[in-house]
Amino acid sequence: MTQSLANNNFLRISQGEFRSATKVFARKRIKLGPALLAFEGGFLSIESGEATAVMHAEGEWHGRAIFSAEILRALATVPPPGDPIPVAYANGHLLIGTMTIPCQWNVVSEAFLHNVSNPGLLDLLALERTVARAELRGAGLGTKMRSAREKAERRIRNAAAQLAELEILPADIWELVEARIALRMRRGQ
């Protein structure tokens, strides 16, 4: 990523729209996973587990950020003050309102999509974090990626059930999966 791109990851969202869109993540019984924040065509989207929030935003953004589901739930429960709410990225951290959040940052990479001819489960999970939604639809991978995410979630639930006696939680397994996805993305780019 060039230095100029790193300095231009800044968005503004109206507080009312942020509150309205993110309240889905504050529901008590919703299952959340790592949160994926992306921006395309004037819309900021945040996806986590079985929920997605989409809101209008203004600004410039050159990647995708992945951060903790617990932080997302906290932001949805008590939205940041200020109107508009700033969202920015720099040096491995997101700024949402006044909260600085550690995150994994991935530059959107068209080349990554074109280099994968027969994506496996891990490839599809990595693609979901690096390629714009419009490109995925154009390549016909949207349905495959949804299926891959669901398959990974099922396998993690099953593994956690098998390892419950060892006090291994689904979050522990997701942490391992996230590390493998990060490794795949580094190799693929």
Residue-wise DSSP of 87-144? EEEETTEEEETTEEEE-EEEE--HHHHHH-SS--HHHHHHHHHHS-HHHHHHTT-HHH
Residue 109 has pLDDT above 70, yes or no: no
What is the rounded average pLDDT of the residues 102-126?
67
Burial zone of 60 (CB within 10 Å; 0-12 exposed, 13-18 middle, 19+ buried)? exposed
Quick one: pLDDT at residue 39? 86
Tokens representing residue 165 in the block? 């006696």
Residue 113 has pLDDT above 70, yes or no: no
Tokens representing residue 102 in the block? 């550690």
Residue 135 has pLDDT above 80, yes or no: no
The ranges assigned to domains in the chain are 3-107, 110-188
- Give CA–CA dist 97/85, Å, rounded: 5
Residue 150 has pLDDT above 90, yes or no: no
Tokens representing residue 64 in the block? 């995708």
- Give CA–CA dist 127/121, Å, rounded: 10
Q: Mind giving me the DSSP string for 42-95?
A: TEEEEEETTEEEEEE-EEE--EEEEE-HHHHHHHHHSPPSSSSEEEEEETTEEE
Quick one: pLDDT at residue 136? 59
- Tokens 């019984």 -> residue: 29
Q: Is 53 left (phi over 0), alpha (psi -120 to 50) or beta?
A: beta
What is the rounded average pLDDT of the residues 103-113?
65
Contact 34, 69 (CB under 8 A): yes
Residue 2 has pLDDT above 70, yes or no: no
Tokens representing residue 145 in the block? 């990626």
Per residue in 36-87, pLDDT (tens digit) is: 898 887 888 888 877 888 889 999 888 888 898 888 888 888 889 888 999 9
Quick one: pLDDT at residue 101? 92
Tokens representing residue 115 in the block? 């280099």
Q: Is 22 left (phi over 0), alpha (psi -120 to 50) or beta?
A: alpha
CATH fold, domain 3-107, is DNA Polymerase III; Chain A, domain 2 (3.10.150)
pTM of the model: 0.57
Percent of the chain with pLDDT over 70: 80
**For residue 189, what pLDDT band results from cuts at 50, 70 and 90?**
very low
Residue 133 has pLDDT above 70, yes or no: no
